[in-house]
Amino acid sequence: MNTPQPLPRLMVAPTGARRGKSDHPELPISLNDIIATAVACQNAGADGIHLHVRDGGGNHSLDVGLYRDVIAGVKQNAPDLFIQVTSEAAGIYDAEAQRAMVRELKPSSVSVALREMLPVPNDTDEARAFYDWALSAGISIQHIVYSPDELRWFLECVDQGIVPGAHHQLQLVLGTYEGSDLPRPSDLEVFLSQLDARKSDLTFDWMVCAFGSAETPCLAYAAQRGGKARVGFENSLWNADGTLARDNAERVADARAAIDAAAQTLSSIDR
C-alpha cells in the first residue's frame, strides 16, 4: 500500500464540467489548449492541476482514452505538476460509470464526491468495495464535501468503515455553482471545527475551492488556517479586484500572490 502523495499547495482547475467558450474565450477545451494552460499555470505558480476532459462536442466526459492523452501531454510539457483527474457526474454519469472509469484509468489522484458515489445513503456495498479497492491500489482519493452537513456524513462513513483509513484528503467547497450567495472566508470555520474535533484519531490533508468573485480572499484565508487551495475557471473567472481574469494563469498568479501574502502575515505573527 503506497503512502498518498500530499496535495499540492496550489492546484488549478482550468476547465470544469459546465462552462464553455461562451463563458470565457480562454477556457481550455481541446487537448492542446489544456496542455498549454497547464504550462502557463505552472509558470504562474501552480503546483498541481485538476483535469476535466471534453468530448468532440465540447461536453463533459469521463472517457479513459481522452484522460490518458491529456495526462501524457501534461506530464511531457509540465512535468513538475501534480496531476489529478475528476470523476464528476455533472448530471451525465452514474456511480457505476464513475467507478468504472477510475478502475480502468487507475490515476494516481482522483477527486470523488461522496454524494455521487453513494447517491442512496443506505446502499453502501458498492461504495465500500470501491473505496477499499482504491486504497489497496494506491489511488489517492480527494473527497469532495460541499457543505458542513456533507462533512459530517463523510466522517460517519469513515466511522462505519465505508471509507477506510485514518488519513484523508478533502476538498472543502465554499459557495455553489449557482452562485446565489457569495461565500465568505469565515464559512470555512464550520468545516474546520469538525476536523479539529477528530484530531485524536484522524489526520487530514485539506484544500479549499470557492465560487465567484470571493474566490481569492477565501483561498488566502484557507492558507492562513493551514490549508491548501484550488483556483481556476471551474470555480471563478474573476480576480480579487473584481476584474475578469485574462486566463487561468492570471487567476493562478492572483491567488498565489494572496496566498504568499497570507503566509508572510502568519509567519510574522508566529515570530
Q: Is the dihedral of CA 217, 260, 235, 202 positive or negative?
A: negative
Q: Give yes or no for residue 133 having a pLDDT over 70.
A: yes
Q: How many angstroms separate the first and last alpha carbons of the chain? A: 39
Question: 46 by DSSP, 3-state: which?
Answer: coil
Which pLDDT score is estimated for 178? Answer: 75
Q: Are 239 and 246 a contacting pair, CB within 8 Å?
A: no
- Give the C-alpha separation, 62 to 52, whole Å: 8
pLDDT of residue 262: 87
Percent of the chain with pLDDT over 70: 96
- Predicted local confidence at residue 115, as pLDDT: 96
Top-confidence residue, 57 or 121: 57
Residue 167 banded pLDDT, cuts 50, 70, 90: very high
Mean pLDDT over 196-213 rounds to 97
Q: Which domains does the chain have, with CATH numbers?
A: 10-270 (3.20.20.70)
Dist. CA 182–CA 180, nearest whole Å: 7
Q: What is the pLDDT of residues 85-98, one digit of tens each?
A: 999 999 999 999 99
> Cell numbers at residue 238, please?
474573476
Q: Which helix (H) or strand (E) holds 71?
A: helix 64-77
- Per the model's pLDDT, the better-predicted residue between 180 and 164 turns out to be 164
Confidence of residue 271 (pLDDT cuts 50, 70, 90): low
pLDDT band at 123 (very low <50, low <70, confident <90, very high): confident
Q: Which residues of 195-229 are buried (b: 16+ CB within 10 A; e: fewer)?
A: beeeeeeeebbbbbbbbbbbbbbbbbbbbbbebbb
Give 181-207 as a DSSP string: S---GGGHHHHHHHHHTTTTT-EEEEE
Helices (H) and strands (E) in the chain, counts: 9, 10
Rounded average pLDDT over 215-235: 97
Per-residue model confidence (pLDDT) at position 270: 56
Residue 239's φ and ψ, nearest 5 degrees, are: -80, 175
Whole-number pLDDT of residue 182:
87
The structure's pTM equals 0.95
Lowest mean pLDDT of 18-27, 83-92, 169-178, 223-232, name the range: 169-178
pLDDT tens digits, 48-89: 999 999 999 999 999 999 999 999 999 999 999 999 999 999
Q: Are the beta carbons of 30 and 52 closer than 8 angstroms? A: no
Share of the chain above pLDDT 90, in %: 91
When pLDDT is averaged across residues 5-24 and rounded to a whole number, the result is 97
Q: What is the pLDDT of residue 266?
A: 61
- Is pLDDT at 26 greater than 60 in this prediction? yes
